[in-house]
Chain A
Amino acid sequence: MTLTSKTLAAIVVVVLFGGIFFSSAMGWWQTESTKEAAKITSGEFAGQANPADIRGSYTFGDVDKNFGIPPAVLAEAFGVKDSNLAAFTVKSLEGMYTGSAQEIGTASVRLFVAFYKGMSYDLSTDTYLPESAAVILRARNLSSEQSAYLAKHTVSNLGATPATSTPSAPQTAPQATQAPSAQSTPNVETPAASSTDRTVKGTTTFVDLLGWGVSQVTIEKVLGTSMPAAQVTKIKDYCTEKGLNFETIRPALQAKVDKVK
């Protein structure tokens, strides 16, 4: 059997497009990720979504769906100021942190999520986090190995260019889905936007306190209750929610902050 060029051309086109059409009909033609992180197959965390599978195309909303970390927390961690946090793509971080000596990007989100969820992460590679993310993580239950890694892989003075037209504007929480376990954070401010003078006031968040060096144990001792899961929550709002008197709590916390100074 001999083929001419015209026959071969027709076969190539028909087989290629026919194959694509057939695979579409069978539901095999997928040009986008399903945005469902692969599950860990063995070990302590078997069955849970794997942070290492977070893709650059994931939005903060996708990370929330997979790992139950609210977009507001991720935004707080990575200094993102966007009107729609849930739609903010992880890969956009690289563009934000172009001024950083160390890359802050998708791998940083993977690391953050793993540490935030208390899961293991490959510590043999160098992945860096901004100070704001480290502040949140220090308040979590990290192993000594993870704490040591975090200490060595935290970058300050990143020169990030937040993705917003009003950098100094307060960061509002997203309308998107939030994990049931996470606390609602109606009004959230970034550490930089809030009390930089180490004065506990109505806008101070738990992240601020942790950033000033007050340990989680100390804060909880003052509160008489556990800290919220979402550390970007304002202390005043949390006190109101828990029926605590903020005016009583505030000076006690201020004393702890001053003690750290």
Chain B
Amino acid sequence: MITLFGKRIRLFRPKSIWIRKVVQWAFFILVALIAVNHTLAESGASIPLLANASLHAVCPFGGVVTIYQFATVGTFVQKIHQSSFVLMIISFLLAILFGPVFCGWVCPLGTIQEWVSNFGRRLFRRRFNHFVPVKLDNVLRYLRYGVLAWVLYMTAVTGTLIFAEYDPYFALFNFWTSEVSVLGLVILGVTLGLSLFVERPWCKYACPYGAVLGITNLFRVFGIRRNEATCKADGACSIMCPMNIPVDSKTVVRDHQCISCLECTSEAVCPVAKTVQFSTRVALRGAK
């Protein structure tokens, strides 16, 4: 750490939040094992001491799509169980406090997109994640709310888990079963293919659950906050943001696309200590 023009600058900084990668890996492996174990259990054998629930049972979005039926009829949409409801509540609680940490730290579909994006970043370097024209990108970002509205409406009308047909997350962990539709596999393939050019394309443009959790960015307790007084405006935070949020032009990130990955913070890419932080409003005021 050195002081240059009155600002404390870290010479050697981590480029990424390594603990997030560890958590992402852990959840990816856990969900994959549960999915495999579910298949094994159906054939009479299963891995002991490991849950063999269906993927629907461990997906919080299942809780969201069944809210209407639960409120009107008192039952869950078929294939959805009470555990989905529990996970939905836990994820909402986390999101109200920290924003969509489920997306940035837990969701295995987000994780696999990031893995593919690592290759894309090496292939295209600075062009990576900047292929989509900004104007078009700004419009497409709201597409996921359309997807969310459609999924909720169709599920309410049909009483069936209509989204499972299209869900790349379900396809990812069930591609070896007959339950997966061809369309789901195609959407998964397209998502992973696009991840070579764009960081988290599914999350940005189509994920209905990301749309729900993204709303909490508007009022979350902890948020990404930039201290203008110490910021040297190098734009590193904006360049690093996987969701292309212009962090360097904001004092508080309230963008509905933020996934609370902390990659923009002083703990990762920002070279100035305590300048971009994940904090409450009070903490930032104290730092000024």
Contacts and interface: CB of A to CB of B under 8 A. Distances in A.
Interface of A: 1-6, 8-9, 11-13, 15-16, 19-20, 23, 28-33, 38, 52-53, 55-56, 94-95
Contacts of A13: 23
Contacts of A30: 81-83
Which of B54, B82, B89, B101 has most A Cβ within 10 Å?
B82
B57 interface: yes
Contacts of A38: 73-75
B23 A12 contact: yes
A23 B19 contact: no
Contacts of A19: 86-87, 89-90, 93
A5 B83 contact: no
Given A8-B98, A30-B83, A32-B81, A16 B279 contact: no
B25 to A, nearest CB: 12
A31 B23 contact: no
A95 B42 CA distance: 14
A23 B268 CA distance: 35
Secondary structure call for the A interface? helix
Which of A8, A29, A30, A56 has most B Cβ within 10 Å?
A8
B236 interface: no
B283 A1 contact: yes
9 contacts: A1-B279, A1-B283, A5-B265, A16-B106, A20-B83, A20-B86, A20-B90, A53-B75, A55-B78
Given A3-B222, A31-B81, A55-B78, A9 B20 contact: yes
A6 B53 contact: no
Given A1-B282, A95-B178, A16 B90 contact: yes
A20 B73 CA distance: 25
Nearest to B221: A1
A32 B78 contact: no
A19 B102 CA distance: 14
Contacts of B262: 5, 8
B212 interface: no
Which of B78, B262, B268 has most A Cβ within 10 Å?
B78
Given A8-B262, A13-B23, A31-B54, A2 B94 contact: no
Contact of B86 (A2, A3, A23): A23
B83 A31 contact: yes
Contacts of A15: 90, 93-94
Interface in B41-56: 51, 53-54
A200 B90 CA distance: 64
B53 A31 contact: yes
